[in-house]
Amino acid sequence: MADKKIYSASTTAPVNIAVVKYWGKRDAKLNLPTNSSLSPAAALSPRTPSRQTACFRELKALRKKLEDANPSLPKLSEYHVHIVSENNFPTAAGLASSAAGFAALVRAIANLYELPESPTELSKIARQGSGSACRSLFGGYVAWEMGQAVDGSDSCAVEVAPASHWPELKAAILVVSAAKKGVSSTAGMQATVNTSALFAHRARDVVPKRMEAMRAAIRNRDFERFAAHTMADSNQFHAVCLDTTPPIFYMNDVSRAAIRAIEALNTLEGRVVGAYTFDAGPNAVIYYREKDEEKVLGFLGELLAPEVAEWAGKYAKVALEGYDNKLFEALKDGVSRVILTRVGEGPIRTDDTLIGTDGLPSKK
């Protein structure tokens, strides 16, 4: 190559914790799902990932098309690409870190190549790297429409509502274990598709109705319905994992204590204050509204103390009358860390590059 110039582009991409879960591929090569899924984007920012992927080919082909149409453009499609990524989220513990990583990869290279494709178009490429990555190309409330086409051309992410439509939604993530999970999502979901007798019923009959109900709940900012569907979908996702041969368990006794705690909180308050959901790992994600933050964090602070003793002081003490404290004991030992986040923006272009002027990772 004659041109030795270095081009760089950096981006963040949000983690997303689905409230209608993706589980099961109808085409493993193209990462085409057996059902649609839906998630709020969380305001957290890994950067371009280190893992090489099939996404490259498609992004390079799109750049090549631009170059062919306009010969004055630098021939970036022929350049080597250096990728540097960092992640502020526990990886491979079922917290959607790979989704954010792949979304950031696709977004950063699309920026580098100055591709005109929309986030929805790019989501089809990100999907091939990691299914749920397609949702992390958007902020706010995002649906991954499963699509029907065999080639996957209609299986892509679309915005349900921007973050500004319902900005009150927040989340507390109880990191139960940052240990890598036992069964990878990819292996796990194929085992479920192949062996669970209940799975097809979920994909065909349950999720389509739930997607509609969830869209309506978000449109109407109806937290109660949002919460009911979020909890039911999480439980059903883990139910089909358990209905797999051999059975897949992602939740453990600590996760179960988190469920009982949120049930107790909602009962004590006499209304739905918090909603739990669990991805492919034991960590509990608790969705709640900003106006209820004191209640939720005060309550969790009581149960988790002394780990987050400052919360127990900061927020009103919640009396757990009528409950056997043993129900929640597992939380004290089992939760190692709490991450607070809120519904946030999609990928954000940044000048804070991780690549040095020599084209190599910058030293810190």
Residues that bind a second copy (CB under 8 A): 197-198, 201-202, 205-206, 228, 231-232, 235-236, 238-240, 242-247, 249, 252-253, 256, 259, 263
> 85 or 235: whose CB is closer to a second copy?
235
CB of 239 to a second copy, least distance (A): 4
* Residue bearing tokens 């979908």: 233
The torsion defined by the Cα of 343, 345, 351 and 357, in degrees rounded to 10, comes to 80
Helical segments of the chain, H only:
55-69, 97-112, 119-129, 185-195, 199-201, 207-219, 223-242, 253-269, 293-304, 309-314, 329-334
Here the tokens at position 332 are 């004290």
Provide CB contacts within 8 A for 220, sequence distance 6+. none
Bridge partners of 19? none
Tokens 């020599």 locate to 358
Kindly tell me which of 42 and 262 has the beta carbon lying closer to a second copy: 262
What are the Cα distances from residue 102, in Å, to 9, 16, 56, 108, 355? 15, 12, 11, 10, 18
Nearest distance in Å: CB 199, a second copy: 9
> Cα–Cα distance between 63 and 7 in angstroms, integer?
14
Both tokens of residue 42?
A: 């969380």
**Considering beta carbons, is residue 180 or 314 the nearer one to a second copy?**
180
For the bound state, the minimum distance from the C-beta of residue 329 to a second copy, rounded and expressed in Å, comes to 13
How far, in Å, CA of 250 to CA of 217, rounded? 27
CB closer to a second copy, 83 vs 193: 193
Least distance in Å: CB of 116 to a second copy?
A: 42
Smallest gap from Cβ 56 to a second copy, in A, equals 35
Q: How far apart are CA 285 and CA 275, in angstroms?
A: 8
Q: Which is nearer to a second copy, 116 or 246 (CB)?
A: 246
* Residue closest to 171 by CA, chosen among 43, 298, 311, 279: 43
Instruction: Name which of 62 and 176 has its Cβ closer to a second copy.
Output: 176
- Closer to a second copy by CB, 135 or 202: give it: 202
Q: Between 114 and 205, whose beta carbon lies closer to a second copy?
A: 205
Three-state SS letters, 41-53: EECCCCCCCCCCC
Contact 140, 164 (CB under 8 A): yes
Shortest gap between Cβ of 183 and a second copy (angstroms)? 12
Q: How far is the CB of 187 from a second copy (least distance, A)?
A: 15
Residue type at 62?
L
- Please report how close the Cβ of residue 206 comes to a second copy at its closest, in angstroms: 5
